[in-house]
Amino acid sequence: MTQSADSSVAPRIIAQQAHSTAAALAALATARKNRWLRLLADALRASVAPLVAANQQDLAAAQQSGMSSAMLDRLRLDQAGILALAAAVEQICLLPDPVGELISGERRPNGLQVSRVRVPLGVVFFIYESRPNVTIDAAALCVKSGNPVILRGGSEAIRTNLELGRLITETLAAAGLPEHAVQVVRSTDRQLVGEFLQLSDLISLAIPRGGRSLIERVTRDARMPVLKHFDGVCHVFVDQSAELQMALDIVINSKCQRPAVCNAAETLLLHVNAAELWPSLSAALQQRGVELRCCERSRAGLAGAVAATEQDYRTEHGALILNVRIVDSLEQAIEHIRSYGSGHTDAIVTRCLEAAGHFESAVDSSAVVINASTRFNDGGELGLGAEIGISTDRFHARGPCGLRELTTYKYVIRGTGQVRG
| pLDDT tens column, 125-159 | 999 988 899 999 999 999 999 999 999 999 999 99
Architecture of the domain delimited by 4-227: 3-Layer(aba) Sandwich (3.40)
pTM for the model stands at 0.85
Task: Note the pLDDT of residue 304.
Answer: 87
1 confidence band (pLDDT: 50, 70, 90):
very low
Model confidence at 97: pLDDT above 70: yes
Mean pLDDT, residues 205-227:
91
Model confidence at 330: pLDDT above 80: yes
Angle of the 244-256 helix axis to the 278-287 helix axis, nearest 10? 30
| pLDDT tens column, 74-83 | 899 999 999 9
Contact 392, 229 (CB under 8 A): yes
Task: Note the pLDDT of residue 244.
Answer: 96
Contact 293, 324 (CB under 8 A): yes
327 confidence band (pLDDT: 50, 70, 90):
very high
Task: Note the pLDDT of residue 230.
Answer: 74
- CATH number, domain 234-376, options 3.40.309.10, 3.40.50.970, 3.90.1150.10, 3.40.1010.20: 3.40.309.10
Mean pLDDT, residues 324-337:
98
Task: Note the pLDDT of residue 30.
Answer: 97
Bridge pairing between strands 234-238 and 345-349: parallel
Would 4-227 and 234-376 be classified into the same CATH topology?
no
Q: Spell out the domain ranges in the chain.
A: 4-227, 234-376
Contact 158, 185 (CB under 8 A): no
Range with lowest mean pLDDT among 64-78, 284-298, 407-421? 64-78
- In whole angstroms, give the CA distance from residue 328 to residue 273: 8
pLDDT, averaged across the chain: 94
User: Which residues contact residue 127 at a Cβ distance below 8 angstroms, ignoring those fewer than 6 apart?
Assistant: 152, 153, 193, 196, 206, 207, 208, 209, 210, 214, 218
Share of the chain above pLDDT 90, in %: 83
- In whole angstroms, give the CA distance from residue 73 to residue 52: 14
Mean pLDDT, residues 386-401:
83
Task: DSSP for 13-76, please give it.
Answer: HHHHHHHHTHHHHHT--HHHHHHHHHHHHHHHHHTHHHHHHHHHHHHHHHHHTT--HHHHHHH-
Mean pLDDT, residues 362-390:
90
Mean pLDDT, residues 86-93:
93
